[in-house]
Amino acid sequence: MRPAQDAAGRYAAAGAVSVAPMMDRTDAHCRYFLRLLNPGARLYTEMIVDQAILNGDPGRLLAFDPAEHPVALQLGGSDPVTLAAAARRAAAFDYDELNLNIGCPSDRVQSGRFGACLMAEPQRVADCVAAMAAETTTPVTVKTRIGIDDRDDYAFLASFVTTVAAAGCECFVVHARKAILAGLSPKENRSIPPLRVETVYRLKRDFPELTIVLNGGIGSVAEVHRHLAQVDGVMIGRKAYAEPYLLAELYAQAEDAIGPAGRCPPDRGEIVRRMADYAERQLSKGVRLHHVTRHMLGLYAGQPAARRWRRYITEHGQQAGAGPQVLIDSLGIIDAAA
């Protein structure tokens, strides 16, 4: 067990940056890769439904490489009893944070009555947080939206936060959009409702004792620094996946960077070589190369030969029997373009 830290301290220690939970994306292979790019950023798992942990194989669902720390497990659920039981099982895995998903608007999630629709039931969310916190010393946090449907005034959000904070939640990750529960797909719900970062800034001003992390549409080092003047942390989703080298740049330019020139961001080629070593270890456990390399496709985004490199990895990584040499050989494309 690592020493306990308050939520703000934990976010500060992570350079105040985290990578968002993303289904089918932020699995253990993805997180290992992202960790090589940024030694501090807080990484979130995909959402795992409490029942899956209770009925499935917790080892397969919850295991992660110690190199991934600091890492947060995101849970989905709406029943304090089952969430508490899932939190108890997760305690054995030494996550740095348990995060409850109150932000996801998908139909599948609504039908189980969890995700964003739970913003309408703050007391239930509070009961879930309290029940989870009673089972573990790991901090319990909540990821939410600024509102749902026509309940999108600031008073609604402030009241939700007040109720849930009273149950012991000290850290809220807020996607600065409301969720429209009927009529928009999850994807549309990530772009159509307008971003209202001012609402999240105001939340921080009104609840200075809470750790408030802003999420939604963040895509550059400059934006991160601008937001960090107003909130305790930023969470980056799509941009961190599509252009992961942003994380390396953020680490190099973090406020605590060593010396006036900051840190040197890691070399992309070195990241590829380290991922080849990782892939070799994974292949020996029966993992297919593609499951590792599919998360790396954005590594050279914006660089010469990025498209050719991506195509090479995509085509060769999927072939039967593909091994880590595919990654090593891919560097020839980069060298030739240099």
Catalytic residues: 104
Rg (CA), the chain: 20
Q: How far is the CB of 11 from ligand FMN (least distance, A)?
A: 16
Q: How far is the CB of 48 from ligand FMN (least distance, A)?
A: 9
Considering only 83, 140, 197, 218, the residue that binds ligand FMN (CB under 6 A) is 218
Q: How far is the CB of 23 from ligand FMN (least distance, A)?
A: 4
Q: What would the two tokens of residue 43 be?
A: 């990484």
Q: How far is the CB of 191 from ligand FMN (least distance, A)?
A: 8
Considering only 122, 217, 233, 317, the residue that binds ligand FMN (CB under 6 A) is 217
Q: Does 246 bind ligand FMN (CB under 6 A)?
A: no
Tally of CB atoms within 10 A around 113: 13
d(C-alpha 220, C-alpha 330), whole Å = 27
SS (H, E, C) 12-54: HHCCCEEECCCCCCCCHHHHHHHHHHCCCCEEEEEEEEHHHHH
Q: Does 122 bind ligand FMN (CB under 6 A)?
A: no
Which residues lie below 8 Å from residue 40, measured CB to CB, with a gap of 6+?
A: 13, 14, 15, 17, 70, 251, 254
Considering only 15, 30, 70, 74, the residue that binds ligand FMN (CB under 6 A) is 74
| Ranges assigned E (strand) in the chain | 17-19, 42-49, 71-76, 97-102, 140-148, 171-179, 211-215, 233-236
Q: Determine the residue with CB nearest ligand FMN.
A: 237
Contact range with ligand FMN by CB under 6 A, out of 7-15, 100-108, 254-262, 286-294: 100-108
Binding flags for ligand FMN, 143-172, as an x/- string (CB under 6 A): x-----------------------------
Residue 154, classed as helix, strand or coil, is helix
Q: Does 22 bind ligand FMN (CB under 6 A)?
A: yes
Residue 233, classed as helix, strand or coil, is strand
- On the CB side of 90, CA atoms within 13 Å amount to 33
Q: Does 274 bind ligand FMN (CB under 6 A)?
A: no
Q: Site residues (CB under 6 A) for ligand FMN?
A: 20-23, 25, 46-47, 74, 101, 103-104, 143, 175, 190, 215-218, 236-239
